[in-house]
Chains A and B, each alone.
Chain A
Amino acid sequence: MSLVTALRSGRIAHAPAATLAPASAITLQSRGYAAPAKPAQKTASKFKSNKNKDKDKDKRGPRDSGAFRPMSVTNLTHPVFQSEQRTQLKLPVFRPEAITATAATKAMAFPHEESRALKAYGLPRNILVDYLLLAKPCSVVRQVTVDMLDQLDGAAASSSKDNRIVLTGKAGSGKSYLMLQAVQYCIQKQWLTLYIPRAISLVNSSTAYAYDARTQTYGQPAFAQQLLKRFADVNAALLQSLTVQNSYPLEDRTVPTGAPLADLINVGAEFQNYAPTVLNAMLDELALQTKYPVLLAVDDFQALYCTSQYRDPFFRSVKSYHLMLPRALLEFASGKKTLARGAFLGALSMQDTKYRPPLELIEALGLEPLGPSNPYVPRLPELVEYAKGLKNFPVPEQLTVDEAASIYDVWQQSKALHIPLADEMFLAKYTEANGNAGRFVKHGLLETVAM
């Protein structure tokens, strides 16, 4: 191979510059397709201070879905923004006392100081996009909300074996919002709450995984560490009074019986390699204690039943129940492990076509199958086991007119819409969406150009 071809293919890209310079000077061309690969600049290693690095990190905001973040009011100096006439969006606060039968169809804002769950755990993507546009994180309390919260109140005293609820319904019917309301309610009612807003990120190979020989399952250390930190942050007040009931020997330390549960969590939060084990241990401890009821809430619940995107060393797909955290969640969902007090809440998500609810889950919930469901279609026995005993909680696919009117009011008062405030416009958008909440907001209010 000649020097020129070698240069173009970049095989001697790392050769010292001195030998290349005389030969390449004749053959170098200026056209892009013919330009040879530039050899790497070899410079003597310099000591680089860390002063400049941190400054860049501070400027970057928290990771979000890439949607725009609204500017602060102080930056909006142009008169067209009417910053002087800004009014706060006045909504009643979402509190357990306010959730009564008459509270249905009212929009309520999540309390600012206690909405750590929203910030700590994160939100499903569609809700996040909404809250970027709205003035305050809020939601409309529906009749189905009142019903579900009544059910959760009943579950506070009993074990989770009888309270494994899965929210089902059409895309856009409001399952994620309902789950968010349930999580907020439970936090305010002094429950220990663990909320996973996007379970798809557990199985789509977006976080590191490591095989644990002891349990013969794959742990996800980074995710587990983050989750432990968030759990500790949201439930800090309640964890102070809880102690560990078993001892947990780790590689270089042991968490003895009677130690505060917060200590166990801190071990996992500090050391990423212990995090998956600590997370499992924490879940077991939460299941044993009876002081506070526990809520395990998982959005995109069907992803736990799909094959993950991870691969084992033989390039076979790793099943979801071979991952530590999904396995633990499936065990609580199926009743193999139970919480002494509390409930397991899952919400199906029909939006993502790569993680559709599998046939075993659909049959367990009594839903209409999406594909063939004849006896010749294989059903994995493990998934059938993990889907046993799940209670279907259907979310009505149509909003009532009053609920839709509350949503419309919230958006109008946030001044987030470009359409006029009128009964006729509201009814037209409601009719176009056939009462579907997601379509009503996303298409009807935000995307319409018909006047």
Chain B
Amino acid sequence: MNIARQIAGGAFRFRAYATAAYVPPASLEGMQRARPPPIKPKPESPTFYSGRANYYDQLLALEDAAKQTKHALQELQLLPLPRFAQQNLPPLQAVWKNKDDLAEIMEANLTTSRYRRLIGQLNQLNEYRRLAEVAGHMDLAVRIQHILEMFERENKDAILARGKSKPVKFDQYGRTYTVGRRKESTARVWTIAVQPSADEQAGSSSTTPAQGELAAPVSTPQESLLPSQPATGIPGFTSGPLSLAPAPIKVPTTNILVNGMPLVDFFPHLIDRERVVRPFRIAGLLGAYNVFALVRGGGSTGQSGALALGIAKALAAHVPEVEPMLRKAKLLKRDPRSVERKKTGRAKARKAYTWVKR
């Protein structure tokens, strides 16, 4: 009977769906069962059975968050975004942790495809965050940022700041210190705005009409080389500012000192001097700034090129509006060209020895 029961029980247990023997309920009432099956602990999440619980937890959490955020943004009517708005959003700059770091966090191996899927979700969330930030919903943006922070690198700011130069500092006199390099030469450039002289400042603040009339020079028409400019007041006006002779304008000039010598003495060749003055011409700041520079290394072309770069950087710092102009003129670019090395089997970098037929 035990065997039959066992067989019956076994059949019942293992093949309950197939051929379960009919046992009337009344006879089962007094039956003693075997010990109850052990209660298994319920897994925290359904991803337990996936074998990569951590990974799928994270992924599902991110997907959830993405779904909720999308819903929220749709309610705020920020999604879908028209094309022109999409194009004008500020650029995304994401620095996610790499595969190994994320694997460490998740305490599991991460294959490339799974990593990519994760990063895909992170990028999606990052886009929603940008949208919320640009639209001004800072609380939403901050909440998304909390989620994303865990996946970003610690040195994110340092990485994003790579390639960007430090802002040029002004000292207590209003001078900038910039450095320019070209070939083997280095130029250290101190730039300061031209100070208006004391008499100009006094003159500009107080010009009485009496002084103006006395200052008008007695000149014949023959002597004025530019007849369009009247040396006296405009005829027909007896009073008011137009009856006065125009005050002579003191034109400020740019002085450039290189290693203590004036530019014209340090660079005897005209082309070098033109190269140095070019940033002023393109920026339209001739006469606005004075320059003192120390140059070292290389020859005249390298030194003049380095000086030009230093001056361009200084002008961009003093007057930020001219930076796009200087950039377009390639004056803010450090010329990477340098002397090409000599190669073995050649006389010089490119020059080859005479080809001999035999």
Interface residues of A (CB under 8 A from B): 90, 92, 102, 106-107, 401, 406, 409, 413, 424, 427-428, 430-436, 439, 443-444, 447-448, 450
Knowing A409-B225, A431-B253 touch, does A424 contact B278 (C-beta < 8 A)? no
Which residue of chain A lies nearest to B218 when distances are taken between CB atoms in the complex? A102
CB pair B281–A424 under 8 Å, yes or no, is yes
Q: Which residue of A lies closest to B267 (CB)?
A: A432
With A401-B253, A406-B225, A448-B274 known as contacts, the answer to whether A432 contacts B219 (CB < 8 A) is no
Inter-chain pairs besides A92-B222, A431-B254, A434-B263, 16 sampled, C-beta below 8 Å: A106-B225, A401-B251, A401-B253, A406-B225, A409-B226, A428-B286, A431-B277, A431-B280, A432-B270, A432-B274, A433-B264, A434-B255, A443-B273, A447-B270, A448-B270, A450-B274
Q: Which residues of A contact B263 (CB under 8 A)?
A: 431-432, 434
CA distance A327 to B163 in the complex (A): 71
From residue A319, how far is it (CB to closest CB) to chain B in Å?
33
In angstroms, Cα B273 to Cα A444, docked, is 10
Whether A427 touches B274, Cβ cut-off 8 Å, given contacts A90-B222, A102-B217, A436-B264, is no
Chain B residues near A431 (CB-CB < 8 A): 253-254, 256, 263, 277, 280, 286-287
> Which residue, of A432, A435, A439, A444, has the highest number of chain B Cβ atoms within 10 A?
A432
Contact pick for A427, options B219, B253, B262, B278, CB 8 Å: B253
Q: List 5 A-B contacts (CB under 8 A).
A: A428-B280, A431-B263, A434-B264, A439-B264, A450-B278
By beta carbon, the residue of chain B nearest A436 is B264
Q: How far is the CB of A438 from chain B (nearest CB, A)?
A: 10
Count contacts on B: residues with CB < 8 A to the other chain: 28
Other-chain residue from B222, B253, B273, B280 in contact with A435 (beta carbon distance below 8 A): B253
Instruction: Give chain B residues whose Cβ lies under 8 Å from the Cβ of A432.
Output: 263-264, 270, 273-274, 276-277
Residues of A contacting B226 in the complex (Cβ-Cβ under 8 angstroms): 409
Task: Indicate if B157 sits at the interface (CB-CB under 8 A).
Answer: no
Q: Mark B205-236, 1 if CB is under 8 A from A, else 0.
A: 00000000000011110110110000000000
Residue in chain B with minimal CB distance to A432: B273
A residues less than 8 Å from B254 (CB atoms): 431
Contacts of A102 in B (CB 8 A): 217-219
Q: Which of A107, A427, A448 contacts B287 (CB 8 A)?
A: A427
Q: Are the C-beta atoms of B280 and A434 separated by less than 8 Å?
A: no
The answer on a CB contact under 8 Å between A443 and B270 is yes
Residues of A within 8 A of B280 (CB): 428, 431
- Which residues on the B side are within 8 Å of A444 (C-beta)? 270
Complex CA distance for A409 and B224, rounded to whole angstroms = 11
Pick the contact of B256: A90, A409, A434 (CB < 8 A): A434
Given contacts A102-B217, A447-B270, contact A428 B253 (CB under 8 A): no
Give A285 Cβ to nearest chain B Cβ, in Å: 41
CB neighbours (8 Å) of A435 from chain B are 253
- A424-B284 in contact given A433-B264, A443-B270, A450-B278 (Cβ < 8 Å): yes
Contacts of B255 in A (CB 8 A): 434
* Contact present for B262 and A434 (CB under 8 Å): yes
Q: Please, how many angstroms separate the alpha-carbon atoms of A447 and B268 in the complex?
A: 13
- Distance of A432 Cα from B275 Cα, bound (Å): 10
For the complex, give the distance between the alpha carbons of A448 and B255 in Å.
20
Question: How far apart are B73's CB and chain A's nearest CB, in angstroms?
Answer: 53
Residues of A within 8 A of B265 (CB): 434
A107 interface neighbour in B225, B274, B281, Cβ under 8 Å: B225
Residues 259-296 of B at the A interface (beta carbon under 8 Å): 262-265, 270, 273-274, 276-278, 280-281, 284, 286-287
**Chain B nearest Cβ from A359, distance in angstroms:** 22
| Cα distance, A233 to B254, chains bound together (Å) | 48
Nearest opposing residue in chain B for A442, CB measure: B270
CA–CA, A406 and B217, complex, Å: 17
Q: Do A427 and B217 contact each other (CB < 8 Å), given the known contacts A90-B222, A448-B274, A450-B278?
A: no
Q: Which chain B residues border A433 with CB–CB below 8 Å?
A: 264, 273
Complex: chain A residue closest to B286, CB-CB:
A427
Contact pick for A424, options B219, B253, B273, B286, CB 8 Å: B286
Q: List the B side residues contacting A107 at CB < 8 Å.
A: 225
> Which of A92, A406, A428 is within 8 Å of B281, CB to CB?
A428
Min C-beta distance of A353 to chain B, whole Å: 13
Complex-state Cα separation, A337 to B253, whole angstroms:
47
B317 → chain A closest CB, angstroms: 20
| A431 to B262 CA separation, bound complex (whole angstroms) | 10
Beta-carbon nearest neighbor of B226 in chain A? A409
Give A406 to B265 CA distance when docked, in angstroms: 24
Would you call A106 and B253 a contact (CB within 8 A)? no
- In whole angstroms, what is the CA distance A439 to B263 when docked? 11
Are A430 and B253 in contact, with the CB atoms below 8 A? yes
- In whole angstroms, what is the CA distance A409 to B226 when docked? 9
| Given known A-B contacts A401-B251, A434-B256, A92 and B277 have beta carbons under 8 A apart | no
In the complex, the chain A residue whose C-beta lies closest to that of B284 is A424
In the bound complex, residues from chain A placing their C-beta under 8 Å from that of B253 are 401, 427, 430-431, 435
Closest B residue to A433 by CB, please name it: B264
Within the assembled complex, what's the spacing in Å between the Cα atoms of A90 and B222? 8
Interface centre among A427, A435, A448 (most CB of B within 10 A): A427
Binary A-proximity of B301-328 (CB < 8 A = 1, otherwise 0): 0000000000000000000000000000
A435 to B265, CA, bound (A): 12
Chain A nearest Cβ from B323, distance in angstroms: 20
A168 to B256, CA, bound (A): 24
Q: Chain B residues near A401: list those with CB within 8 A.
A: 251, 253
Complex Cα gap A102–B251 (Å): 18
B27-65, CB under 8 A of A: which get 1 and which 0? 000000000000000000000000000000000000000
In the assembled complex, which residues on chain B have CB atoms less than 8 Å from the CB atom of A439?
A: 264
Chain A residues contacting B256 (CB-CB under 8 Å) are 431, 434
Note all chain A residues with C-beta closer than 8 A to B217: 102
Distance (Å) between the CB of B276 and the closest chain A CB?
Answer: 8
Q: Which residues of B contact A409 (CB under 8 A)?
A: 225-226
Enumerate chain B residues within 8 angstroms of A92, measured Cβ to Cβ.
Answer: 220, 222-223
Residues in B with CB closer than 8 Å to A430 are 253
- B291: nearest residue on chain A (CB-CB)? A431
A412–B41 alpha-carbon span in the complex (Å): 99
Complexed CA–CA distance, A431 and B287 (Å): 8
Task: Find the B residue at minimum CB distance from A425.
Answer: B281
The 8 A-B pairs with the shortest beta carbon distances in the complex, nearest first, are A432-B273, A434-B264, A434-B262, A427-B286, A401-B251, A443-B270, A450-B274, A431-B254
Smallest CB separation, A439 vs chain B (Å): 5
Whole-angstrom distance between the alpha carbons of A436 and B219 in the complex?
28
**A337 CB to nearest B CB, Å:** 39
Q: Which residues of B contact A436 (CB under 8 A)?
A: 264
Distance of B287 from chain A, by nearest CB (Å): 6
CB distance from A142 to the nearest CB of B (A): 15
For residue B166, give the distance in angstroms from its CB to the closest CB of chain A. Answer: 29
Q: Tell me, in angstroms, the Cα distance from A447 to B269 when the chains sit together.
A: 11
**Closest approach, in angstroms, between the C-beta of B172 and any C-beta of chain A?**
27
CB distance from A106 to the nearest CB of B (A): 6
Write the nearest CB–CB distance from B116 to chain A, whole angstroms.
Answer: 54
The CB with the most chain A CB atoms within 10 A, among B222, B273, B287, is that of B273
Closest to A406 in B: B225
The interface residues of chain A lying within 8 Å CB-to-CB of B281 are 424, 428
